[in-house]
Amino acid sequence: MPVEAIAIDLQQERKEILKRYRKLLSSAKPYLQENDSKLIKQAFMMSMDAHKDMRRKSGEPYIYHPIAVAQICVEEIGLGGTSIICALLHDVVEDTEITLEQIEEKFGKKVAKIIDGLTKISGVFEHGSSQQAENFRKMLLTLSDDIRVILIKLADRLHNMRTLGSMARDKQLKISSETFYLYAPLAHRLGLHAIKSELEDLCLKYTEPEVYKDIAKKLKETKTSREKFIQNFIKPIDKGLQDLGFKHLIKGRPKSIYSIYNKLKKNNVPFDEIYDLFAVRVILDVPKEQEKGACWAVYSMVTDHYKPNPERLKDWISTPKSNGYESLHTTVMSSGKKGRWVEVQIRTTRMDEIAEKGFAAHWKYKGNDTRTNKAFESWLSQVREALDSSDKTTSAVELVDSIRSTLYNDEIFVYTPKGKLIVLKDGATALDFAFEIHTEVGARCIGAKVNNRLVPLGYKLKTGDMIECMTSNKQKPSEDWLNFVATTKAKSRIKDYIKEANKQHIVIGRDMVEHRLKILGINLLSLEVTNQLRAYFNVKDANDLFYRFGKGYIQLDELKKWKLDREAHERKQAAKTIQEPLTNTKNLVKELKKLHGDRKDADAILIGEDMDKLDYTLAKCCNPIAGDDVFGFVTINEGIKIHRTSCSNAPELLSRHGDRVLKAVWASKVQMSFTAHLIVRGTDRMGLMNDITRITSQELQVNIQNLSIEVREGIFEGKIALIVNNTEHLDQLIQKLEAVNGMVEIIRES
């Protein structure tokens, strides 16, 4: 950062801080209990003092951040006093001198516990795990005690995403990817619809800035005509609502940029052809007991005016979604010259608040819907299950994955013969049900009756099924059960059984190996030898190694071969100098800086110039070419790979292994050539092929490496691999090709 003296008007800043704090207090007022404001003030003073010398990357005083997080907690999630205190203090233990003990002394156990959950763990992590994953695990551990940890964390993340603009590019990518991979799904699971959409939009803004800007621009351009259309559309609905005598509100607004982006990508249609760019929402102010009738009355009125699409009626009032969402959706055809499909959402003020603010709002109205509470409880117990069953052999990354898999899943509701409701994840089988009832029932299960009909263990259950399990004492879990169970609980119970059964084979196998090694002259089965064997036979860990010997999967004679190979290898190694593997990202960055001196982007790989000093290659999955936005990724065995930030693997790499990501930029001086893959589609016109090759190879002198075409029902589709110098070069070519008569679209493959 340039060292520049910026005159900061401290007095002005102080005024601004107090202004923001007062705004927080006034929004919080309706949620506060008697003693709350005094404690909030203390928390504010403590946080202000602790962060007093800190500034954010943007240069603003740090305290703006905790105040903003608290403001989100109140305004957008609807949380109360304790959460405000925790939000104000959420960064002090991590970043300042203040300790958890001090917090507990002042604000009590509850607050200290929540803040502990919000404080990142620092330190070194085992290979294959990332700090992010470890922190996530810690956060989840406290989550099962107090859901507020995750709600405040989401508020924190939301504010960080809103202010991501002042961070460095690689940080932006890393944080956006994490957000997309974990936090947006979490927000979805907790029913925080507004926050989920905003997080997704912000992720798109930073990972694919061009696409984001393009959609935002188009939305702006079409704003006036869209608003006019909506006004005309809602006129008869508004009149109808007045006639029915409902106090109401009508909102018509575009869907989120991310959901439009998804539609464009999925349906492969241009922007103007997305018909349901916006949804019209009717919000009724009626008492709880009249809700259902009122919503259906409005539905009936709307469909008197506009013709509904019968396939798109969704009734989440009779059956709410598992994250608590309630609403009645219909898609109707607008009147006028050019009819358009418009989605109309009908709900009440209560349902709307739940849809926007999720579970926090739900609790406000609690006590009514046991089914939603049950679905949520069931999710929480899946999280607990995953946490309980993870041991040292489960990496934090695996754990995050298993929890992530619970986020987007819908539940099914099934019953025991006595009519007890059991919530299972969609895709669960009769065996999952058995394990849900009791571990022993699962382990001894030989089959089940679903609605009085005999079914196999792997039978997939549906909502409404009634299941009776049949057991036998002779039955025991087997490995292939893992192939068809869906729930975390069943999976970990089966694994436990198998592990127990395998223990015996491990002991036997170990004795056998030890004995044979003695014969071969190796007297000690040391950790080093064990590790060598493990690598040689390509097995996961020592137990697995001995288990395989014990079961006879690996023959003892193989040990002799291993010994000979090892001796040959040792001789070879002695001749060579030992080379450090390139897996330490921190050292790499140091090396890069040394290599580049004080040049701009000294900590980045300079693609094209560092070729002889660093082991890196361009990733095959996305084929980057000069000019693409890229990053470097340190792989375990294959050196550094350069990926496009738009690569389909990027979100996973960046979020799960952020610590192995390096900055990468293209050397501008060096001329390089790359293979780019295009898909061209057009009408099957005589001579089209000829035009393509003529423009490519003759006019633009671009080499075609490969070309294949297919014609189906009058549509021409070609795949071309070209040698180009950079994105500019490629764009030029695409522009020329787009002008060819009969060409419909050209897509660059990633």
Catalytic, out of 49, 94, 126, 731: 94
**Least separation in angstroms between CB 605 and Mn ion:** 30
Where in 238-277 is the site for Mn ion (CB under 5 A)? none
Nearer to Mn ion, 111 or 354 (CB): 111
Asked if 178 touches Mn ion (CB under 5 A), the answer is: no
**Least separation in angstroms between CB 65 and Mn ion:** 6
CB atoms near residue 251 (< 10 Å): 14
Q: Residue 17: is it exposed, middle or buried by C-beta count within 10 angstroms (0-12/13-18/19+)? A: middle
Tell me the C-alpha to C-alpha distance, in Å, between residue 281 and each of 49, 233, 243, 328, 714: 45, 12, 18, 10, 42
**Least separation in angstroms between CB 185 and Mn ion:** 20
Catalytic, out of 16, 75, 95, 511: 95
CA 412 to chain centre: 23
> Is the four-CA dihedral 227, 228, 232, 238 of positive or negative sign?
positive
Where in 663-722 is the site for Mn ion (CB under 5 A)? none
**Least separation in angstroms between CB 94 and Mn ion:** 8
Instruction: Put residue 462 in one of left, alpha, beta given phi > 0 → left and psi -120 to 50 → alpha.
Output: beta
Asked if 436 touches Mn ion (CB under 5 A), the answer is: no
Nearer to Mn ion, 91 or 326 (CB): 91
Nearer to Mn ion, 156 or 432 (CB): 156
- Nearest-angstrom CA–CA distance, 398 and 401: 5
CB atoms near residue 598 (< 10 Å): 6
**Least separation in angstroms between CB 104 and Mn ion:** 20
**Least separation in angstroms between CB 99 and Mn ion:** 18
Nearer to Mn ion, 121 or 520 (CB): 121
Where in 640-659 is the site for Mn ion (CB under 5 A)? none
Stretch that binds Mn ion, among 2-10, 155-163, 442-450, 568-576 (CB under 5 A): 155-163
Where helices occur in 418-487 by DSSP H, the ranges are 430-437, 439-443
CB contact set of 434 (below 8 Å; sequence gap of 6+) = 441, 442, 445, 448, 457, 469, 471, 490
Q: How many residues bind Mn ion (CB under 5 A)?
A: 2
**Least separation in angstroms between CB 61 and Mn ion:** 14
Nearer to Mn ion, 91 or 201 (CB): 91
- Nearest-angstrom CA–CA distance, 637 and 660: 13
Strands 630-634 and 674-683: unpaired
Which letter does DSSP use for residue 102 in this model?
H
- Residue closest to Mn ion, measured at CB: 156
Nearer to Mn ion, 142 or 727 (CB): 142
Asked if 156 touches Mn ion (CB under 5 A), the answer is: yes
Residue-by-residue DSSP string for 531-553 = HHHHHHTT-SSHHHHHHHHHHTS
Stretch that binds Mn ion, among 83-91, 92-100, 303-311, 480-488 (CB under 5 A): 83-91
| CB contact at 8 A, 648 and 210 | no
Nearer to Mn ion, 138 or 493 (CB): 138
| CB contact at 8 A, 144 and 130 | no
Q: Identify the H or E element spanning 607.
A: strand 604-607
**Is 95 annotated as catalytic?**
yes
Binding flags for Mn ion, 84-113, as an x/- string (CB under 5 A):
-------x----------------------
Footprint of Mn ion (CB under 5 A): 91, 156
The catalytic residue positions are 94-95
